[in-house]
Amino acid sequence: MIDVAALVFGLLALLLAGPVPALLGRATWTHRAPRAALVLWQAVALAAVLSAFSAGLAIASRLLVPGPDGRPTTAPLAEIDALGLPLWILYVTVFALTLLVGARLVYSVVRVAVRTRRRRARHRILVDLLDRHTDAAATHLPLERAPDLRVLDVTEPLAYCLPGLRQRVVLSEGTFASLSAAEVSAILSHERSHLRARHDLVLEAFTAVNDAFPRVVRSRSALGAVQLLVEMLADDSAVRTAGPAPLARALVACSTSTAPRGAMAAGGPSTVLRVQRLAAGRADRVLVTAVAYAASAAILVVPTLAVAVPWLTELSRLFGTFGH
């Protein structure tokens, strides 16, 4: 039973780290329900990590063979006698790979968090120093000055945000010169939606999980697909405030602008697809949303019930010898 559990968990981890994200990244239905699709992406990523760890735990429980007194032992010679050398080598290799994924995940989480926050802190200091938004009339700002808003002396339209405890929304003089009041309001709503929802934490988590798995098994499309969904969520929030037409015009105007690493820009390579989505309007998303949420629950719950319970029962029986 333990052997089957380890095999199933291992195969599930490989599928959820590679082929499943590759298929999901090419799907277009996700554009109609970005929130539900993002939940599905999170379920896939979490299930991949849990499956990898569960495979390692199943292997570890198999290596803990009963000793002469009936208690689990980690003596290699006893394990080899009980399992055979080829199977023992395979189990140890899989267990070592699981530990490697866990170590890489912890390292990646810490590295991404530290580097991203350092970049944002340096850039936050820079935009605070370069802020030209000292007079609302001088920048033709169609609304009152906000404490989180910074305006740079740049002629091209520019819009991005710096998430964190000290949030910033950065616009350029060119943004106010090129956009109408409604369009500026739409782009501000887009950026502040990122800040309210803490989309940056979602992207950090996916970046860490993406780096944790070896290149040969992970999907290259996962992070890009999640970034697109996050932008679509911010678009939907801005549409509810300013309408689709002003937001679409603002996105086109800012499409060629760039933002520093760690920031979240309004424009970018996905602008054309997002503008087409805004022009298409809101289709009926009830069925798509319901299916996505149901799939998310199934990905997390069904493997646990079908596979985890048998080997947990066996593990409990094995360690139950400690009480005798």
Mean pLDDT, rounded, of the chain: 82
**Which helix (H) or strand (E) covers residue 170, if one does?**
strand 168-172
* Best CA proximity match to 184, nearest among 153, 140, 227: 140
* Best CA proximity match to 191, nearest among 128, 132, 242, 156: 242
CB neighbours of residue 127 within 10 Å: 18
**Does residue 243 surpass a pLDDT of 80?**
yes
| Predicted local distance difference test score (pLDDT) of residue 230 | 95
* Per-residue pLDDT tens digits for 31-45: 999 999 999 999 998
CB neighbours of residue 212 within 10 Å: 23
Q: Where are the domains of the chain?
A: 2-323
**Does residue 246 surpass a pLDDT of 50?**
yes
CB-based contacts of 116: which residues, under 8 Å, 6+ apart?
A: 200, 204, 261, 262
Spatial distance between the Cα atoms of 78 and 84, rounded to a whole number of angstroms:
10
**Does residue 239 surpass a pLDDT of 90?**
yes
* Per-residue pLDDT tens digits for 48-57: 888 888 877 7
| Predicted local distance difference test score (pLDDT) of residue 291 | 93
* Per-residue pLDDT tens digits for 145-201: 678 899 998 899 999 999 988 899 999 989 988 999 899 999 999 999 999 999 999
* Per-residue pLDDT tens digits for 97-147: 778 888 888 898 999 999 999 999 999 999 999 887 655 445 455 555 678
**Does residue 1 surpass a pLDDT of 50?**
no
**Which helix (H) or strand (E) covers residue 152, if one does?**
strand 149-152
Residue with the bigger pLDDT between 32 and 88: it is: 32
Start-to-end Cα distance in the chain:
24
DSSP string, 84-150: -HHHHHHHHHHHHHHHHHHHHHHHHHHHHHHHHHHHHHHHHHHHHHH--TT-TTTTT-SS---TTEE
Whether 310 contacts 5, CB under 8 Å: yes
Calculate mean pLDDT across residues 254-270. 83
